[in-house]
């Protein structure tokens, strides 16, 4: 590993690189042990960094805004590559917003509103990055990324860039073909609709009001803990199972919205994982419904 790092520093001298970086600093849960090495590259540094890691057989974990992940207390071995603040440019072109993968959805939605482009209001309060949203086909309040995404520029495992249409990305409920194909999102193009900036901002304000009233935004979390089972709502099942406020250590089922698991303070990844398993078992036993975690688990538990 040290030889690999020496090569990285020699070939990419301006790369932002940290050793033993706590992942609790890079997840919205505020939980996670250290990454052996943590890099936040510029766009031009990404392909050579991946090539160096591949040549040295170093494991690479790609991270966005950390808003939909739980990192184990043992941290992550190898190299964590954050697609974030050094890849976050946003611009508008006609009726489109073009955003780099590290840009926050809120920033892309704000840019759209500023020039009177509607359709992205639902995404303004989602705390994820553009790249992560494409990977997961993020959605809220009846809208999904696939509704507004025209295409995404990705970096393939062979180091080649390719533009993929929304159809080629195979977007479904909280899924895409991106992980299976080994792609890394570089940027995305959103096709929007001209509208009044005032009306767009009113809709954004209303959605943000509803979000703050119904979701436990005052606590660290990873958003919805479980995917929506067909024919049901995960939060309603959890509430009906009597698990509102259920705690394991510092982790708790939110009393405000039972679909959220929150960090009440000092929660460990082990606490959260145990709580998720307890919830799944109770719901399965009571209602014969299998809840599937929406939160992605990374690293060593």
The residues of the chain that CATH labels 3.30.43.10 are 2-82
Could you confirm whether domain 2-82 is CATH 3.30.43.10?
A: yes
The pLDDT tens digits for 264-293 are 999 999 999 999 999 999 999 999 999 999
- The alpha carbon of 232 is separated from its chain's Cα centroid by a whole number of angstroms, namely 24
Active-site residue identified among 43, 174, 201, 282: 174
Q: What is the mean pLDDT of residues 54-82?
A: 97
Considering the domain delimited by 216-298, tell me its CATH architecture: Alpha-Beta Complex (3.90)
Q: What is d(CA 277, CA 248) in angstroms, rounded to the nearest whole number? A: 11
Catalytic site residue from 21, 82, 144, 294: 294
Domain(s) of CATH 3.30.465.10: residues in the chain: 90-203
CATH of domain 90-203: 3.30.465.10
Instruction: Specify whether 294 is catalytic.
Output: yes
Which of 40, 151, 224, 254 does the annotation list as catalytic?
224
Tens digits of per-residue pLDDT, 130-186?
Answer: 999 999 999 998 899 999 999 999 999 999 999 999 999 999 999 999 999 999 999
Q: Is 277 a catalytic residue?
A: no
Task: Report, as an integer, the average pLDDT of 195-203.
Answer: 97
211 is catalytic: no
Give start-end residues of each CATH 3.90.78.10 domain in the chain.
216-298
Q: How many CB atoms lie within 10 A of CB 129?
A: 33
């Amino acid at each position: 590993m040290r030889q690999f790092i020496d090569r990285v520093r020699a070939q990419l001298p301006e790369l932002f690189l940290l050793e033993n970086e706590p992942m609790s600093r890079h997840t919205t849960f505020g939980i996670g042990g250290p990454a052996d090495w943590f890099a936040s590259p510029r766009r031009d540094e990404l392909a050579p960094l991946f090539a160096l890691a591949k040549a040295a057989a170093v494991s690479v974990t790609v991270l966005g805004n950390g808003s939909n992940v739980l990192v184990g207390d043992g941290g992550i071995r190898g190299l964590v590559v954050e697609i974030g603040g050094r890849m976050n440019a946003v611009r508008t072109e006609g009726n489109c917003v073009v955003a780099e993968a590290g840009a926050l959805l809120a920033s892309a939605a704000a840019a759209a509103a500023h020039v009177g482009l509607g359709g992205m209001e639902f995404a303004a309060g989602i705390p994820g990055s553009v790249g992560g949203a494409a990977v997961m086909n993020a959605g809220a309040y009846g809208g999904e990324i696939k509704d507004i995404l025209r295409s995404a520029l990705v970096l393939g495992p062979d180091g080649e860039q390719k533009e993929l249409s929304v159809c080629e990305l195979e977007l479904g409920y909280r899924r895409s073909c991106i992980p299976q194909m080994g792609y890394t999102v570089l940027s995305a193009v959103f096709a929007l609709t001209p509208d009044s900036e005032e009306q767009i901002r009113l809709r954004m304000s209303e959605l943000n009001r509803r979000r703050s009233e119904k979701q436990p935004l005052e606590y660290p979390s990873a958003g919805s803990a479980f995917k929506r089972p067909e024919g049901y709502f995960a939060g309603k099942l959890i509430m009906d199972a009597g698990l509102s406020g259920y705690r394991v250590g510092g982790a708790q089922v939110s009393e405000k919205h039972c679909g959220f698991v929150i960090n009440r303070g000092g929660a460990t990844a082990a606490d959260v994982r145990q709580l998720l398993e307890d919830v799944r078992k109770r719901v399965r036993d009571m209602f014969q419904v299998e809840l599937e975690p929406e939160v992605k688990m990374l690293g060593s538990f």
